[in-house]
């Protein structure tokens, strides 16, 4: 634990100039209007400060959320809360990526502070670096932790409940973390929600809460999941709103259980929920809106201070990622040198010329340029779907060895490659001939540079399976159905609902088979 705290302190110290840059900014103040209050909420941000650049129509990002809040603040007071799974992409993070993910989490906390986050309910993913990480945030950030069911009140700085009083309205806030969202001993830190809620209601009554008062709202900020929230609503029908998280149940409209309204949004700030409260009207007049966080929202805050924040974030993140990957490579004694590497597209094209010509006109052929153009070229989360063989002994382990040279590496190789597409804003919007032109020039640069293996871009073996001795292996031919199942599984491993929502139903979870078939047909190589 001491070692972890030491490493964490190094990461925190590396963030110091970002803290100064952001906190010194002259941010526009949200103008409080007594007539209405917008109780806006997020959750399941999973450490994302900006869109990754993969989606056809990008959603999310701190600059865009800041623009939304500025737009809302012109007519309403903005009161921002978050219900957890916010700072890390999962509850367990690989040690090899601890530095970069810790940096991202701390920088995201800075950003949420500047957005005006008031109360935060932690989720299971937020404990990925342990309680000590969260203690540091609780002691250094302006937003407050709201946890109403901790067994040991002294374990972290927090509030048990909060009261927001505006005009005729009083909003009583409770924050709950369900014990069963954890798969470890952390579950023992939290009391069962249903057991402690009656006692908390009595505390709120002593503080002025009256469930019969039409101007009093009881709002539960819950990190439990939709089903437990629904059970809670059935058991305690006097609750007015439950702002949920954890299960990522995408609710375009509130799910009503009697008079209790349950709301959730999708992950990574792609949507922000907004409970609109008229401060002079009774709570029956409250309404719910879901805001889609599109790029054009950024312009509502001009100049937008979060644009520089994101640029600085990417630069520092790239440096940390390269350092991590260097340690990974140096620490590993890989037996992969004795293994045959994956055959790259240049090998396949030698025999499959027609298919190669087709592939070179598809966005797959220059998929890695998307990462270069949004400065994510060292992000392993992104590289895995924009290259061949990441983390495989037959492929590569770090961004720096994605391309290997027969001779001494040429220092300006990546500058040459980047120059091929630096003016391209979206690979998807290029016509086939323009893509093919870039791809063929890339092949020429590889040949001139003495490239031995180039695993960049989505290549033949990203979709197809191939024996090491192909075409001389004597294995029995695979069935067509089995091949198509394998291809589909490979497609969907990268084209998830989050990255390719146009392939899915509105919940971004249920595959639209017709849409998938159309995409497959468009990308399938000719059979001749």
User: Which has more pLDDT, 10 or 360?
Assistant: 360
Sign of CA dihedral 481, 484, 486, 488: negative
Contact between 15 and 110 under an 8 Å Cβ cutoff? The reply is yes
* pLDDT, averaged across the chain: 88
pLDDT at 478: 74
User: Which has more pLDDT, 87 or 13?
Assistant: 87
Domains of the chain by start residue, with CATH: 27-305 (3.60.21.10), 342-475 (no CATH)
pLDDT at 63: 97
Q: Which two tokens stand for residue 308?
A: 């520089």
pLDDT tens track for 360-391: 999 999 999 999 988 899 998 899 999 999 98
Give dist(CA 374, CA 295) in Å, integer. 14
pLDDT at 19: 37
When pLDDT is cut at 50, 70 and 90, the band that residue 13 belongs to is: very low
Contact between 174 and 148 under an 8 Å Cβ cutoff? The reply is yes
Interval 123-136 mean pLDDT: 96
Contact between 47 and 90 under an 8 Å Cβ cutoff? The reply is no
When pLDDT is cut at 50, 70 and 90, the band that residue 307 belongs to is: very high
**Does residue 327 have a pLDDT over 60?**
yes
Kindly give, in sequence order, each residue whose CB lies less than 8 Å from that of residue 263, ignoring residues fewer than 6 positions away. Answer: 41, 241, 242, 243, 244, 251, 254, 255, 273, 275, 288
When pLDDT is cut at 50, 70 and 90, the band that residue 475 belongs to is: low
pLDDT at 139: 97
Interval 428-434 mean pLDDT: 90
pLDDT at 21: 41
**Does residue 45 have a pLDDT over 70?**
yes
Q: Is the pTM of this model over 0.75?
A: yes
Pair type for strands 36-42 and 77-82? parallel
pLDDT at 506: 78
């Amino acid at each position: 634990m001491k070692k972890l705290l030491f490493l964490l302190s190094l990461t925190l110290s590396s963030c110091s100039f970002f803290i100064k840059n952001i906190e010194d900014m002259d941010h526009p103040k949200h103008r409080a209007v007594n007539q209405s209050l917008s109780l806006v909420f997020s959750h399941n941000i999973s450490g994302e400060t900006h869109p990754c650049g993969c989606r056809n129509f990008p959603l999310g990002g701190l600059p865009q959320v800041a623009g939304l809040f500025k737009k809302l603040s012109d007519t309403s007071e903005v009161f921002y809360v978050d219900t957890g799974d916010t700072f890390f992409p999962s509850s367990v993070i690989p040690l090899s990526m601890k530095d970069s993910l810790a940096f991202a989490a701390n920088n995201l906390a800075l950003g949420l502070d500047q957005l005006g986050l008031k109360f935060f309910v932690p989720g299971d993913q937020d404990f990925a670096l342990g309680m000590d990480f969260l203690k540091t945030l609780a002691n250094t950030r302006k937003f407050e932790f709201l946890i109403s069911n901790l067994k040991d009140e002294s374990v972290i700085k927090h509030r048990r409940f909060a009261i927001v009083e505006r005009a005729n309205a009083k909003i009583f806030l409770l924050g709950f973390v369900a014990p069963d969202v954890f798969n470890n001993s952390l579950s023992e830190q939290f009391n069962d929600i249903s057991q402690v809620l009656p006692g908390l209601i009595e505390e709120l009554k002593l503080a002025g809460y009256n469930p019969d008062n039409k101007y009093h709202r009881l709002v539960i900020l819950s990190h439990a999941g939709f089903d437990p929230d629904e059970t809670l609503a059935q058991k305690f029908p006097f609750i007015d709103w439950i702002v949920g998280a954890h299960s990522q149940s995408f609710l375009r409209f509130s799910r009503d259980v009697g008079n209790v309204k349950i709301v959730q949004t999708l992950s990574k700030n792609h949507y922000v929920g907004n409970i609109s409260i008229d401060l002079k009207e009774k709570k029956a007049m409250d309404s719910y809106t879901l805001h889609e966080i599109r790029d054009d929202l950024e312009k509502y805050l001009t100049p937008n201070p979060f644009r520089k924040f994101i640029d600085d974030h990417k630069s520092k993140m790239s440096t940390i990622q390269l350092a991590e990957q260097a340690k990974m490579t140096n620490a590993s004694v890989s037996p992969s040198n004795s293994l045959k590497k994956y055959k790259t597209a240049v090998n396949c094209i030698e025999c499959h010329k027609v298919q190669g010509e087709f592939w070179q006109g598809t966005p797959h052929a220059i998929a890695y340029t998307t990462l270069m153009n949004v400065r994510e070229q060292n992000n392993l989360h992104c590289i895995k779907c924009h290259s061949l063989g990441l983390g495989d002994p037959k492929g590569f382990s770090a961004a720096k060895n994605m391309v290997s040279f027969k001779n001494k590496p040429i220092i300006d190789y990546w500058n040459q490659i980047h120059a091929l597409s630096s003016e391209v804003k979206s690979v998807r919007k290029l016509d086939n001939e323009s893509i093919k032109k870039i791809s063929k020039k890339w092949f020429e640069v590889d040949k001139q540079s003495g490239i031995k293996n180039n695993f960049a871009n989505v290549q033949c073996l990203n979709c197809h399976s191939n024996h090491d001795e192909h075409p001389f292996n004597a294995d029995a031919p695979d069935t067509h159905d089995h091949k198509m199942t394998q291809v589909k599984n490979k497609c969907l491993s990268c084209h998830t609902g989050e990255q390719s929502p146009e392939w899915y139903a509105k919940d971004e979870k249920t595959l639209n088979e017709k849409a998938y078939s159309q995409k497959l047909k468009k990308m399938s190589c000719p059979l001749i």
